[in-house]
Amino acid sequence: MCYNYIMITVNLKDGERIDQLFSSDVKIIQDKSVFSYSVDSVLLSRFPRLPQKGLIVDLCSGNGAVGLFSATKTSAEIRLVELQERLADMGQRSIALNQLQDQVSMINDDLKNLLSHVPRSQVDLILCNPPYFKVTETSKKNLSEAYLLARHEVTTNLEDIFEVSRHALKSNGRLAMVHRPDRFLEIIATMKKYKLAPKRLQFVYPKFGKDANMLLIEAIKDGSFDGLKVLPPLIVHRENGDYTDEIFEIYFGKNAKQKAYMYVLECADGSLYTGYTTDLEKRLSAHNAGKGAKYTKSRRPVRLLYSETFNNKNAAMSAESFFKRKTRKQKLAYIQENSSTD
64-91: per-residue pLDDT in tens? 999 999 999 999 999 999 999 999 999 9
Q: Tell me, what's the pLDDT at 76?
A: 98
d(CA 155, CA 71): 27
Average of pLDDT values for 246-250? Answer: 86
Q: Tell me, what's the pLDDT at 257?
A: 60
DSSP, collapsed to helix, strand or coil, labels residue 111 as helix
Q: What is the secondary structure of 244-312 as a DSSP string?
A: PHHHHHHHH-TTTTS-EEEEEEE-TTS-EEEEEES-HHHHHHHHHTT-S-HHHHTS-S-EEEEEEEESS
Phi and psi of 211, rounded to 5°?
Answer: -70, 150
Q: Tell me, what's the pLDDT at 341?
A: 47
Whether residue 269 contacts residue 299, with contact meaning beta carbons closer than 8 Å, is answered with yes
First and final C-alpha spacing in the chain:
36
DSSP 124: E
Burial class (CB within 10 angstroms; exposed 0-12, middle 13-18, buried 19+) of 11: exposed
Whether residue 263 contacts residue 306, with contact meaning beta carbons closer than 8 Å, is answered with yes
* Confidence band for 6, pLDDT divided at 50, 70 and 90: very low
DSSP 25: S
**CA angle in degrees (0–180, nearest 5) for 22-148-118:** 70
DSSP 24: S
Average of pLDDT values for 235-254? Answer: 84
Whether residue 302 contacts residue 320, with contact meaning beta carbons closer than 8 Å, is answered with no
**Strand 303-310 versus strand 260-266 pairing type:** antiparallel
Range in 106-120, 211-225, 235-249, 289-303 the model is least confident about: 235-249
* Confidence band for 134, pLDDT divided at 50, 70 and 90: confident
Q: Tell me, what's the pLDDT at 2?
A: 44
**CA angle in degrees (0–180, nearest 5) for 177-180-185:** 85
Q: What is the secondary structure of 146-213 as a DSSP string?
A: HHHHHHBSSS--HHHHHHHHHHHEEEEEEEEEEE-GGGHHHHHHHHHHTTEEEEEEEEEEEETTSPP-
Write down how long the chain is. Answer: 342
pLDDT higher at 6 or 116:
116
Q: Tell me, what's the pLDDT at 11?
A: 82
Of residues 176, 127, 192, 180, the one with CA closest to residue 152 = 180
Burial class (CB within 10 angstroms; exposed 0-12, middle 13-18, buried 19+) of 226: exposed
Percent of the chain topping pLDDT 90: 72
Whole-angstrom CA distances from 322 to 12, 52, 293 are 22, 39, 19
Q: Tell me, what's the pLDDT at 339?
A: 79
Query: Which of left, alpha, beta for 60 (phi over 0: left; psi -120 to 50: alpha)?
Result: left
DSSP, collapsed to helix, strand or coil, labels residue 126 as strand
